[in-house]
Amino acid sequence: MPARRLDRSAPGFEAEFAELIGAKRAAEADVDGAVAEILAAVRERGDAALLHYTERFDRFETDVAGLRIPAAGIAHARAAVPEPQRSALEHAARRIRAYHERQLPENWSFTDAAGYRLGLRWTAVEAVGIYVPGGTAAYPSSVLMNAIPARVAGVERLVMVTPTPDGAVNDLVLAAADIAGVDEIYRIGGAQAVAALAFGTEGVRPVDKIVGPGNAYVASAKKQVFGIVGIDMIAGPSEILVVSDRRSDPEWIAADLLSQAEHDTAAQAILITDSPAFADRVSAAVERHLETLPRAAIARESWEKLGAIVVVDSLHAAVPLIDRIAPEHLELAMDGADALAASVRHAGAIFIGRHVPEAIGDYIGGPNHVLPTSRTARFASGLGVLDFMKRTSTIGGDAAALRAVGPDAVTLATAEGLDAHALSVGIRLAESEPPNDG
């Protein structure tokens, strides 16, 4: 069954398009209660609870010392990774680091007309926890994307938690952590790992911020500990919007659509084109690719249930549609891609040109692949260096500066009924009057 087809000029287009972008793509698991119990248990019983949940959910027994992977184990894992994969990870790390180093902000200050020295300085979060899924959903690229910006920001302590189901350790994940400069790695997962990072246990010191993807239990745990620690975002299913003219190779575009559809049956892939004939060719190419892809069953369900091809009269007229979708990934495989990209307001990441498939951004392009999903690109950005830094404002001045602005501060404080505020300024004004030479 092909993906749905929408025509911008058809009478019912608006209703169909609204249904497309408003469709609920992932069932919300009711796990909040179970997660709250796990969080409370770890907070109260510390390592004992971690060991209990590790045996229960990951099916292996260990002691407290066995929860942390030692340096020798990490070095062994890195050495065990085949050289081509290790080299690719190192290449990706260099590119990701170089891109994120350009995001480092500068401190600044100036002296205003009143004589106050006003400034802004940036400092890094002190300790960050990175959650990395385990088992079949282990992605070393995500380790690089989460850890490297934190290290570039100046985070002093990087802690990684990752489940090891049945005791199996993923060498690629450990190698990526070593390359990225992670300081501590623990074999714990799920809500209990988030609890350990947020509250601390006898063996795991707490952190200040938690980042990284996870299942419904991890997402719920991150939401419940927010405020005790910071979090990055609550990510939804992956998505891609490809805008292409008829000059693109339909096989390429079909592969790009399926590159996200294969993630998850709740992922969404959409094509916008100005050529009905090209739309037909891409649809046929999708079917050909699905005959050979190992994850074809997942990709097919995603494509047939949630995928779509939208035909418009002009690609430049598609900008309002792009902004309404606010896609996580936006590919512009078309003539005039740069001009169209400049007109787009809402997108997590934009891939400009026919030779920039989204997968380049997933692994080795340089920009971060941790991006806002589910239309949150309307108000959110991808993960970056600033997510691991804090702004602190500074104000410095003397008695003359106080005399220049203080009276109005007293007026405003009095108007708000905060007399001690007014007093704290007024008492200084009374003692800082310039000498009367008369």
Token couple for 344 = 């787009």
What does the DSSP 8-state code read for residue 70?
P
In a domain, 385, yes or no: no
- Catalytic-labelled residue, pool 100, 263, 289, 329: 329
Classify the C-alpha dihedral 237-238-241-246 as positive or negative: negative
- Main-chain dihedrals φ then ψ at residue 103, nearest 5 degrees: -85, -10
Burial class (CB in 10 A: 0-12, 13-18, 19+), 419: exposed
In a domain, 372, yes or no: no
426-435 average pLDDT score: 84
In a domain, 390, yes or no: no
% residues pLDDT > 70 (the chain): 97
Find out whether 388 and 212 touch, Cβ atoms under 8 Å: no
pLDDT-derived band of residue 435, with 50, 70 and 90 as boundaries? low
Find out whether 68 and 185 touch, Cβ atoms under 8 Å: yes
Residues 211 and 160 occupy one common structural domain: yes
SS3 158: strand
pLDDT-derived band of residue 292, with 50, 70 and 90 as boundaries? very high
* CB hemisphere CA count around 180 (13 angstroms): 32
Residues 278 and 195 occupy one common structural domain: no
Residues 18 and 84 occupy one common structural domain: no
Domain that holds residue 415: 398-431
Residue 437 has a pLDDT of 55
Instruction: Report how far residue 331's alpha carbon sits from residue 327's, in angstroms, rounded to the nearest whole number.
Output: 10
Token couple for 322 = 């792009």
Residues 171 and 89 occupy one common structural domain: yes
Find out whether 365 and 98 touch, Cβ atoms under 8 Å: no
Catalytic site includes residue 328 = yes
Rounded to the nearest integer, the mean pLDDT of the chain is: 95
Residues 243 and 313 occupy one common structural domain: yes
Instruction: Report how far residue 348's alpha carbon sits from residue 95's, in angstroms, rounded to the nearest whole number.
Output: 19
**Long-range contacts made by residues 41-49, C-beta under 8 angstroms, separation at least 24?**
41/192, 41/195, 42/192, 42/195, 42/196, 42/199, 42/201, 43/195, 43/199, 46/201, 46/202, 46/203, 47/201, 47/202, 47/203, 47/204, 49/192, 49/195, 49/201
Residues 257 and 160 occupy one common structural domain: no
Instruction: Report how far residue 211's alpha carbon sits from residue 231's, in angstroms, rounded to the nearest whole number.
Output: 6
Q: Which of 318, 342, 366 is the last residue of a domain?
A: 366
Classify the C-alpha dihedral 235-239-241-247 as positive or negative: positive
319-348 average pLDDT score: 98
175-229 tens-digit pLDDT: 999 999 999 999 999 999 999 999 999 999 999 999 999 999 999 999 999 999 9
% residues pLDDT > 90 (the chain): 92
Among 127, 125, 348, 129, residue whose Cα is nearest residue 222: 129
- Catalytic-labelled residue, pool 328, 346, 358, 369: 328
Residues 291 and 326 occupy one common structural domain: yes
Residues 328 and 181 occupy one common structural domain: no
**CATH code for the domain in which residue 178 is found:** 3.40.50.1980
Q: How many domains does the chain have?
A: 3
Residue 136 has a pLDDT of 59
Q: Which of 323, 345, 366 is the last residue of a domain?
A: 366
Q: Which of 345, 366, 387 is the last residue of a domain?
A: 366
Residues 206 and 332 occupy one common structural domain: no
Residue 138 has a pLDDT of 75
In a domain, 437, yes or no: no
